[in-house]
Amino acid sequence: MLSTTIGVFALQGDVREHLAALEAVGVTTLTVRRPEELARCDGLVIPGGESTTMGKLARIFGLLDPLRERIATGMPTFGTCAGMIMLADRVLDGTADQETIGGLDITVRRNAFGRQVHSFEGPLTMTGLAEPVHAVFIRAPWVESVGDDVEVLARVEGGEAHGRIVAVRQGNLMATSFHPEVGGDARVHRSFVDLVRSA
């Protein structure tokens, strides 16, 4: 079998952590800053970071339209946190000029967990994983609503945000509000790699 190449959008964000998680799963990785690099990818990860900056840089580097085209034509893509925002069709509490790639029929709310609770972590039950994942949330978005074709993979359990959607899948697109690349558990990346291999 030809090896699977998964790119990590690398204009901004926690690129290294994703590269390490993907390498732990045993795929070939590639940092993506230019359309030529994107063209070599079987799948793509969009990391956590800052979504307004990602949108601006993607526009400046001529990557926004190639990304939209690859995603529209089925390239499996996994967004974490800011990456989830980049994949969302609709953003609440974004900046006026915020551009996303889009593709996922979801509405996300940026920095949804409030100013007091920027960051928290804990176990989270996720569809497809036998044991809970240790989910790290850093100024995270949540998914306010989803379209009919979107499968909800995880919801917050307990606390003020109980029931809020924090992981979704729609066809070849996956997104989490939290950071599975942090903490050495590669199971979420493995399920994305399985998605890429079956695409």
Ligand X SMILES: NC(=O)CC[C@H](N)C(=O)O
Binding site for ligand X (CB under 6 A): 48-51, 81-82, 85, 110-111, 138-139
Residue 49, annotated ligand binder?
A: yes
Q: Is 144 a catalytic residue?
A: no
We find the least distance from the C-beta atom of residue 116 to ligand X, in angstroms, to be 15
Q: Rounded to an integer, what distance in angstroms lies between the CA atom of residue 69 and that of residue 58?
A: 13
Residue 48, annotated ligand binder?
A: no
Q: What count of Cα atoms within 13 Å lies in the side-chain half-sphere of residue 165?
A: 19
Q: Is 41 a catalytic residue?
A: no
Which residue out of 18, 37, 41, 179 is catalytically annotated? 179
Q: Rounded to an integer, what distance in angstroms lies between the CA atom of residue 118 and that of residue 3?
A: 39
Q: Distances from the Cα of 75 to the Cαs of 46, 62, 69, 70, 112, in angstroms? A: 13, 18, 9, 6, 28
We find the least distance from the C-beta atom of residue 128 to ligand X, in angstroms, to be 22
We find the least distance from the C-beta atom of residue 167 to ligand X, in angstroms, to be 14
22 versus 138: smaller Cβ distance to ligand X: 138
Measured N-to-C along each axis, helices 187-198 and 15-25 cross at an angle, to the nearest 10 degrees, of 70
Residue 59, annotated ligand binder?
A: no
42 versus 109: smaller Cβ distance to ligand X: 109
We find the least distance from the C-beta atom of residue 101 to ligand X, in angstroms, to be 13
| Helix (H) and strand (E) counts in the chain | 6, 12
33 versus 139: smaller Cβ distance to ligand X: 139
Residue 138, annotated ligand binder?
A: yes
Which residue out of 17, 37, 41, 81 is catalytically annotated? 81
4 versus 100: smaller Cβ distance to ligand X: 100
Residue 43 Ramachandran class (φ > 0 left, ψ -120 to 50 alpha, else beta): beta
53, 12 contact by CB (below 8 A): yes
Q: Is 81 a catalytic residue?
A: yes
Task: Tell me which residues are annotated as active site.
Answer: 81, 179, 181
